[in-house]
Amino acid sequence: MIYDEGLNSDFCNFIAEKVRYNLYITVADILTNPLFDVTTYTDYYMIKPLFNFDTVTSTNPNDNTSNNNVLIIEKDNTTRLSFKSNQPIIEYSEHTTETTIDNIKYTLHYTYDPVTSEPAPYKRTSNGNTTDEYGYYLDSEVITDGD
């Protein structure tokens, strides 16, 4: 049934409102990424994001990012774009890694959305602390030999 209704179906509109992405990427990476349709001009790129998001910002103040459907970006491949979603992540997962250096055990906690694999910032970790804006929290502990 949804196939008969096309992109204006209730289901498609529901998904468009529910599934949004956070993405931090350089212009150089956008050029080869299938999430973007890029048209190259002499001095700029016309970039059409092929995913849902709420806002986009650029590290280049000369870029035009006011229209979420078409971005006009100067040809500077080091420019970073931040696509952000205002949709809160309800469910998230945590991954931890431990490394010991000079009798100090470092535990890195990373929280992320298990559906999109995007960072889940400001979430509580298994040790009770809150992750930063990128979904990370670093904990450290001095290890003694128990003389």
Per-residue pLDDT of the chain (147 residues; tens, 9 = 90+): 445 566 566 666 655 555 566 788 899 999 998 889 999 999 999 999 987 788 899 999 999 999 888 999 999 999 999 888 776 656 789 999 999 999 999 999 999 988 777 888 888 899 889 999 899 999 999 988 654
Same domain flag for 43 and 60: yes
Residue 9 domain flag: no
Angle at 64 between CA 58 and CA 113, to 5 degrees: 45
Same domain flag for 45 and 106: no
Domain carrying residue 32: 15-84
Residue 7 φ/ψ, nearest 5 degrees: -75, -10
Q: Where among 84, 108, 134 does a domain terminate?
A: 84
d(CA 55, CA 100): 40
Instruction: Kindly report whether the global pTM for this prediction surpasses the value 0.85.
Output: no
Residue 119 domain flag: yes
| Under 8 Å between Cβ of 116 and 135 | no
